[in-house]
Amino acid sequence: MIWKAHAKLNLYLRITGRLETGFHSLETVFQEIDLHDELIWKPEPHNGFQLHVDGPDLGPLESNLVYKAVKLFSAESSICVHGQLILKKKIPHGGGLGGGSSDAAATLSGMNRYYKSPLSEERLRKLAAELGSDVPFFLQGGTCRAQGRGELLQPMELASEFPRRGFLFIPPCPAPTAQVYQAYAQSRPAVWQTRKKRQKHISWGRNDLTEAACAVQPNLKSVRDVFRDSLPRELIFMTGSGSTWVWLTEKRQVPHLPFPFEVRQIPFQFES
C-alpha cells in the first residue's frame, strides 16, 4: 500500500513572540500542494520494523521523523509494528516545504488505518504535535490558518480570485530550520518577548523569516533581489524557513533567471 505525504506552502508567516518553552509563536497560513513523497508499506509479520529511504542521505534512520512516528505509534497503541516502510523522497530537503513533517503525519495516519484505528484523531494529533510544530497540519491538509507553534489550526477558504497554482524555485542551498530561527532570534532586541495580537488582515506573501534565511544562506539575498527586479508586481515569497521561493501565478511559463534553480510547477492540493 502507498501513502502520499504532500508538501506545504506558508502563504503568510508572521512571528508573534516567544513561548515559555523557547519555541517561537507564530501566525501562518498553510497550504497543501500536489508535490509529495511516497511511503510504501509492506507488512512482514515476523521481521520487526525496517525503514528504507530512497533519496538523499538524511542522516541516521533513528533520527528520521518517519522512524520516530512509528515508535510513537507503537508505544501509544501497544502494537508491535512489523514490516518494511520505504520512503521515496520527492520533496526537497531543507526547502521549507515540510517534507519530513508530512512524512511523519502520513506514517501516523497510515499506520492507524492499517491497524484498524486503535488511536482516536485526538490522540493522533497529540502524537503529531510531539513530533513537530507543523506535523498536525499534515494530518488535516487543505488550507488552514495556524497559531501557537503552528499546531493550533483553523480551516479556511481562499478567495476565488486567489491563484491556485504557480512555480517553486528551489536553490541548491538548503536553509536549516534551527539556524534560521536562531538567526531571527539574534536579530531581535533583548526586550522582544511580548506576544503580538493576531492580525485581522493577512498580508499574503509576508514571511518574517526571510531576512534570517538570507543571513544563514547569503546567496538567497541575491535570489530575492533578482525576483524583485524580474517580476516586480508578482506574488513571490519564500516559504517556511527557506530556501524555496514561490511564485503564485496562473501563467504557464517562467522567465529566464540567472541562477541554477530547480523549477517545479505546482497546483494546490485540497484533498489529502
Helical ranges in 115-208 per DSSP H: 121-131, 135-140, 177-186
For residue range 227-272, list pLDDT tens digits in order.
888 877 889 999 999 899 999 998 888 877 777 788 899 998 754 4
198 — pLDDT class (breaks 50, 70, 90): low
In order of start, what are the domains of the chain with their CATH numbers?
2-155 (3.30.230.10), 165-267 (3.30.70.890)
Distance CA 95, CA 233 (A): 24
| 8 flagged as catalytic | yes
The answer to whether 131 touches 67, Cβ cutoff 8 Å, is: no
Q: In whole angstroms, give the CA distance from residue 202 to residue 234.
A: 17
Reported as a pLDDT band with limits 50, 70 and 90, residue 20 is: confident
- Grade residue 194 by pLDDT with cuts at 50, 70 and 90: low
In whole angstroms, what is the distance from residue 203 CA to residue 192 CA? 22
Catalytic residue among 37, 54, 134, 225: 134
> Measured between alpha carbons, how far is 13 from 180 in angstroms, rounded to an integer?
14
Residue 264 pairs in a beta bridge with: 168
Q: For 44-81, how does the pLDDT look when each residue is reduced to its tens digit (9 = 90+)? A: 988 899 999 998 877 888 999 999 999 999 999 999 99
pLDDT of residue 197: 62
pLDDT tens-digit profile of 175-184?
888 999 999 9
Residue with cell 497559531: 147
Active site residue 134: yes
Q: Which residue has the cell 500536489?
A: 34
Q: Is 23 helix (H, G, I), strand (E, B) or coil?
A: coil
Query: One of 8, 37, 68, 103 is an active-site residue; which one?
Result: 8
